[in-house]
């Protein structure tokens, strides 16, 4: 997509999509992690009534909050952002349709993960959707059609809709048929109480990850947004197994913790962290050694400037993978409040440090701040988990 859109247009697309992701925060309300935790819990208890109640409340909440968000965005359009870049505004308008689709797809994947159908959850929510997105962009590239940020968002809508329908098919076969005649039970107070810290945590994480996009757009340029986004996407490949395995082991962490099988839980954490690190090292080495020609080959000469930020971000991701699944461990064992406090401090530091670093060092400064704070945050959490929970999440 970066090659087809070009530097500035890809920067506008990145900014529009970052806005869409931010709008999903109040709609999702931390529900994906809540669902994984409680479905694993209710499965242990064989409480299908509560599972059905949780699914009903989740869909009701998404429907209502989506309508509220749409109304707020429309009001704000007439108040101030209608005079922004026309291409950006168009992409954001289309992106509003993505908000409920992204959240509902994520919730479906979380339900499947909670039931330990991890592959099916990832297949519909990640692999199939990204594959369709790639097909759509490739059609524009092969036939030399003009792709705009708005059209790119439309392709994303189509891909997400189809992947959502696939996820619904999986969910219907694995769960919905089984609970269709069951009377739902609602534990609204407990769910809201538990969802709130999950919501704050996920919200701060999203804001923290997208904050740098807005800082670059305000204090630098749309081109810098594109350059940094390519570096960030490349570095995220080093942590791909971390994200994938975190999704896979989350229900098992919750399940074994509920069963109080701490020895087994430590084995899961140790094996996972070592697998993650083994896969991350060669990716980081490839980018450090051959990152510059690879960027030019994949995206074009104008993205060569992504190389140094890419190297710095890769080093940060290597530390991230070495510390293992510390965040998901805290979330799945009822310690998400601690995780929330740590990432809140990290987000505040990110805001205050990124502005001067971006103003003086542009994308390089953004990469330094991003990587440093990520490494410090994870190292602190490793020591916390070891001292308070007596678990070692690292590769050592």
pLDDT band at 178 (very low <50, low <70, confident <90, very high): confident
Quote the pTM value. 0.86
Q: Are residues 149 and 248 in the same domain?
A: no
Local confidence band at 308 (pLDDT 50, 70, 90 cut-offs): very high
Residue 151: name the closest of 139, 162, 163, 142 by CA. 139
Residue 102's pLDDT band, with cuts at 50, 70 and 90, is very high
What angle (nearest 5°) sits at the alpha carbon of residue 277, between those of residues 275 and 281? 125
Please check whether residues 171 and 204 belong to one and the same domain.
Answer: no
Q: Same structural domain for residues 277 and 129? A: no
Lowest mean pLDDT, pick from 33-37, 96-100, 134-138, 227-231 = 33-37
Which H or E run contains 174?
A: none
Nearest 5°: phi and psi at 378? -70, -35
The last residue of one of the domains, among 158, 186, 214, is 186
Q: What is the pLDDT of residues 268-284, one digit of tens each?
A: 999 999 998 999 999 99
Q: How far apart are the C-alpha atoms of 8 and 30, rounded to whole Å?
A: 33
Give the per-residue pLDDT at 242.
77
Q: Are residues 11 and 126 in the same domain?
A: yes
Q: What is the pLDDT of residue 383?
A: 95
- Count the neighbouring beta carbons within 10 Å of the beta carbon of residue 210: 19
Q: Do 177 and 263 fall within a single domain?
A: no
Domain enclosing residue 369, as ranges: 189-396
Q: What DSSP string describes 124-168?
A: IIIIHHHHHHHHHHHHHHHTTPPP-HHHHHHHHHHHHHHHHHHHH
How many structural domains are present in the chain? 2
Residues 236 and 322 in one domain: yes
Q: Looking at residue 70, what is its pLDDT?
A: 95
Is there a single domain that holds both residue 202 and residue 180?
no
pLDDT category of residue 221 using cuts at 50, 70 and 90: very high
Q: With contact defined as beta carbons under 8 Å apart, do 215 and 357 qualify?
A: no
Q: Are residues 259 and 377 in the same domain?
A: yes
Residues in the chain: 396
Residue 20 confidence class, pLDDT cut points 50, 70, 90: very high
Taking the chain, what is the end-to-end CA distance rounded to the nearest angstrom? Answer: 39
Q: What mean pLDDT value characterizes the chain?
A: 90
| 247: CB partners within 8 A, 6+ apart | 109, 113, 118, 121, 122
According to the model, what pLDDT value does residue 252 have?
A: 81
DSSP 208-230: HHHHHHHHHHHHS-HHHHHHHHH
State residue 46's pLDDT score.
86
CA distance 273 to 246: 10
User: CA angle, corner 129, sides to 125 and 133, nearest 5?
Assistant: 155
With the C-alpha atoms ordered 147, 152, 158, 162, is the resulting torsion angle positive or negative?
A: positive
Share of the chain above pLDDT 90, in %: 55
Count CB-CB contacts under 10 A for residue 382.
Answer: 19
| Same domain for 262 and 245 | yes
The reply to whether 169 and 195 lie within a common domain is: no
Helix (H) or strand (E) holding 340, with range, is helix 336-388
Query: Last residue of some domain: 140, 161, 186?
Result: 186
Q: What is the pLDDT of residues 223-266, one digit of tens each?
A: 999 999 999 999 998 887 777 778 778 778 877 887 888 889 99
pLDDT at 327 over 80: yes
pLDDT of residue 82: 80
User: Which region holds residue 335: left if phi is over 0, alpha if psi is between -120 and 50, else beta?
Assistant: alpha
195 with 180, same domain: the answer is: no
287 in the same domain as 181: no
In this predicted structure, the answer to whether residue 355 has a pLDDT above a threshold of 80 is: yes
Is the model's pLDDT at 311 over the cut of 90? yes
Where residue 152 falls among pLDDT bands split at 50, 70, 90? Answer: very high
Q: CB of 159 within 8 A of CB of 137? A: no
Alpha carbon separation from 304 to 15, 224, 292 (Å, rounded): 20, 12, 6
Average pLDDT over residues 316-343: 87
> Taking 90 as the threshold, does the pLDDT of residue 57 lie above it?
yes
Report the pLDDT value the prediction gives residue 267, as an integer from 0 to 100. Answer: 92
pLDDT of residue 271: 92
Cβ 11 vs Cβ 224: under 8 Å = yes
Tell me which residue of 19, 101, 57, 378 sits closest to 195, measured CA to CA.
Answer: 57
Show which of 186, 219, 244 is a domain's final residue. 186
């Amino acid at each position: 997509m970066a090659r087809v859109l070009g530097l500035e247009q890809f920067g506008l697309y990145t900014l529009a999509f970052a806005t869409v992701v931010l709008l999903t925060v109040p709609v999702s309300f931390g529900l994906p992690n809540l669902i994984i935790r409680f479905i694993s819990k209710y499965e242990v208890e064989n409480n299908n009534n509560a599972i059905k109640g949780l699914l009903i409340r989740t869909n009701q909440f998404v429907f209502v909050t989506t309508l509220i968000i749409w109304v707020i965005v429309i009001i704000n359009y007439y108040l101030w952002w209608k005079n922004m870049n026309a291409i950006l505004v168009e992409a954001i308008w289309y992106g509003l349709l993505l908000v409920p689709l992204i959240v509902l797809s994520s919730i479906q994947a979380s339900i499947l993960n909670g039931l330990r159908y991890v592959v099916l959850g990832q297949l519909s929510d990640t692999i199939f959707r990204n594959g369709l997105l790639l097909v759509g962009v490739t059609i524009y590239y092969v036939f030399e059609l003009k792709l705009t940020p708005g059209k790119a968002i439309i392709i994303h809508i189509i891909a997400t809709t189809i992947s959502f329908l696939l996820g619904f098919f999986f969910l219907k076969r694995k769960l919905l048929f089984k609970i269709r005649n069951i009377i739902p039970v609602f534990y609204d107070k407990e769910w809201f109480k538990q969802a709130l810290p999950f919501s704050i945590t996920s919200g701060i994480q999203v804001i923290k990850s997208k904050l740098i996009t807005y800082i670059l757009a305000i204090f630098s340029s749309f081109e810098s947004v594109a350059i940094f986004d390519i570096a960030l996407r490349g570095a995220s490949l080093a942590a791909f197994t971390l994200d994938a395995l975190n999704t896979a082991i989350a229900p098992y962490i919750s399940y074994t913790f509920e069963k109080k099988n701490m020895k087994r839980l430590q084995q899961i954490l140790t094996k996972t962290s070592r697998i993650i690190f083994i896969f991350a090292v060669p990716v980081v080495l490839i980018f450090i050694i051959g990152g510059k020609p690879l960027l030019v080959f994949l995206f074009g000469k104008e993205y060569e400037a992504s190389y140094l930020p890419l190297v710095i971000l890769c080093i940060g991701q290597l530390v991230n993978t070495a510390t293992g699944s510390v965040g998901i461990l805290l979330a799945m064992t009822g310690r998400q409040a601690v995780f929330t406090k740590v990432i809140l401090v990290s987000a505040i530091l990110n805001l205050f440090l990124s502005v001067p670093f971006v103003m003086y060092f542009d994308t390089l400064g953004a990469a330094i701040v991003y990587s440093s704070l990520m490494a410090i945050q994870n190292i602190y959490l490793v020591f916390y988990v070891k001292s308070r929970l007596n678990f070692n999440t690292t590769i050592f």
